[in-house]
DNA sequence: GATAAAAAAGGGGTATACTGATCGATAATA
DNA sequence: TATTATCGATCAGTATACCCCTTTTTTATC
């Protein structure tokens, strides 16, 4: 810790208006910003997932996508994006890696030749089954610090937030099995100007 | 919608072990997995942040990093990583973009010539001040669907989870706790201090 | 003072995630 | 039928986030 003992020579420009800015930032520090806290928890879940499922190269998103395939064989990529709540271009990226690993297979639909239908391979189903205990353990460990009442309230809050803000993002979640209610391509344009 | 009314010809391989797998996945569907829900909320916050702060090209992580700089001028990149809770290589990436945008400046430490000290420029401080209301609005909107009691419980739960799982990931907030090392299934090593 | 250990930064590589844009196939309409 | 609109997929580009490994500098040890 001797590193910061010595004082680095100052270098002008330490303006006075910095005081009010500092005050502003201390009024709402990082650990009071939900967005910051959620990002941290998100990363922690990733770390826990890799620790539990680590001997395979599967990721949380890949496992989630394959979960959808296990109950929805032969759906197209946009339907996956809608159910998973990620962007459709990202679905294509994830599928490319899963296909390379032999866990899913894609084929052109014979009815709509724009669409590519995706399904799990046998290896994919085996992977999903094999790592199911690992996946659940990662989920459990993440919330192990909460008692069951807190845990339930926390999960409820997450679902509430998702449903309340569902209209944002390129792919809006459908509440599973519900109608695919066109993602409506809502506005959400931003930056790109200038 | 009319598209999927017609039935795609089946294609063998629809094994019946799929039944048990399907059952497994329905026992713990996506919307009951904390990791999945947190990822969704994380994305929603990003979308809200961009919607509020959108006219600039700042991102939540960049704003968070600059928040740290506003109360910690002239710290090195690893200290930033520790305080922000992100990987140190990622800090370098973010800083490179911020420097390119003229919002921060880096200079070699005169005491420890390995270290590069970072501080906000005047433009950086102005950006931080200017978009403070936008940032807080994004935070507020995300949790607007919760009442104040739920909101508080939610934030408490997030902090509890972060503190309880702090030893995972490459950068553990504020550090100082011994190595732990756990299983390291994926060679996930943390810089243990001993 | 020379050498070994550790720390700071950076490069290379990969995965997630979203934007804008394009392109072919399909659907709807004139 | 021909035109138009829409839809599914994909590409290019950027940002976040992490891993491993190397280089340079500092610190610790002999």
Q: How far is B8 from chain A (nearest CA, A)?
A: 7
Query: Any idea what the CATH number is for the domain that residue A52 is in?
Result: 1.10.10.10
Percent of chain A whose pLDDT exceeds 70: 76
Q: Is residue A36 part of a domain?
A: yes
Q: Check CB contact under 8 Å for A165 and B85.
A: no
Cβ A170 to strand D below 7 Å: no
CA of B12 to C1' of C29 (A): 40
Within-domain flag for A59? yes
Asked if residue B46 keeps its beta carbon closer than 7 A to nucleic acid strand C, the reply is yes
Q: In chain A, which residues have their Cβ closer than 8 Å to the Cβ of B160?
A: 145-146, 150
**Res B112: pLDDT:** 86
Backbone angles phi, psi at A117, to 5 degrees: -90, 140
pLDDT at B18: 60
Query: B14-17 contacts: CB < 8 A, separation 24 or more?
Result: B14/A73, B15/A122, B15/A125, B17/A125
Could you report the average pLDDT of every consecutive run of 10 residues in chain B (194 residues)?
A: 48 59 84 94 92 85 94 91 90 93 91 90 93 93 94 95 74 34 31 26
What pLDDT score does B102 carry?
92
- Hey, how many other C-beta atoms are within 10 angstroms of the C-beta on A159? 16
For position B17, what pLDDT does the model report? 60
Instruction: Quote the pLDDT of residue B149.
Output: 95
Q: Which residues of A touch B185 (CB under 8 A)?
A: 50-52, 54-55
Quick check: is A193 in a domain?
A: no
Nucleotides of D under 7 A from a protein CB: 7-13, 15-20, 24-28
Residues B62/B94, Cβ–Cβ less than 8 Å: yes
Residue ranges in chain A modelled with pLDDT below 70: 1-18, 167-194
**Residue B144 forms part of a structural domain:** yes
The pLDDT assigned to B109 comes to 85
The beta-carbon neighbor of A143 closest among B132, B136, B161 is B161
Quote the pLDDT of residue B6.
52
- Domain membership of residue A85 (yes or no) is yes
- Within a domain: B178: no
* Residue A99 pLDDT: 94
Q: How many folded domains does chain A comprise?
A: 1
Residue B113 CA distance to nucleotide D24 C1' (Å): 9
Domain holding A111, by residue range, is: 31-164
- What's the Å distance between residue A84 CA and nucleotide C30 C1'? 39
User: How far is residue A85 CA from its own chain's centroid?
Assistant: 8
Spatial separation of the C-alpha atoms in residues A29 and B46, rounded to whole Å: 18
Q: Which nucleotide is nearest to A115 (CA to C1')?
A: D8
Q: Is residue A8 part of a domain?
A: no
pLDDT of residue A38: 95
Of B35, B83, B109, nearest to A49 by CB-CB distance is B35
Q: Can you give the distance from the CA of residue A110 to the C1' of nucleotide D4 in angstroms?
A: 25
Residue with tokens 């929805």: A72
Residue B182 lies in a domain: no
Write the residue in A26, A54, A129 that is nearest to B21 by C-beta: A129
User: Per-residue pLDDT tens for A11-49?
Assistant: 555 555 567 878 888 888 888 999 999 999 999 999 999
């Amino acid at each position: 810790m001797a590193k910061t003992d010595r004082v680095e020579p100052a270098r002008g420009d330490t303006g006075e208006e910095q005081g009010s800015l500092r005050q502003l930032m201390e009024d709402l520090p990082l650990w009071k910003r939900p967005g910051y806290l959620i990002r941290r928890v998100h990363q922690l879940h990733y770390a826990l997932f890799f620790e539990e499922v680590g001997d395979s190269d599967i990721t949380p998103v890949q496992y989630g996508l394959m979960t959808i395939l296990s109950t929805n064989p032969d759906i197209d990529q946009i339907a996956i994006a809608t159910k998973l709540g990620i962007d459709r271009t990202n679905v294509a990226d994830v599928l490319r890696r899963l296909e390379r690993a032999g866990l899913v297979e894609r084929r052109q639909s014979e009815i709509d030749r724009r669409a590519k239908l995706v399904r799990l391979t046998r290896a994919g189903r085996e992977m999903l089954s094999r790592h199911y205990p690992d996946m659940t353990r990662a989920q459990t460990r993440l919330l192990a610090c909460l008692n069951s009442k807190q845990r339930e309230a926390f999960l409820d809050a997450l679902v509430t937030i998702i449903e309340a803000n569902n209209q944002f993002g390129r792919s809006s979640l459908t509440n599973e099995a519900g109608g695919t209610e066109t993602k409506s391509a809502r506005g959400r344009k931003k930056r790109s100007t200038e």
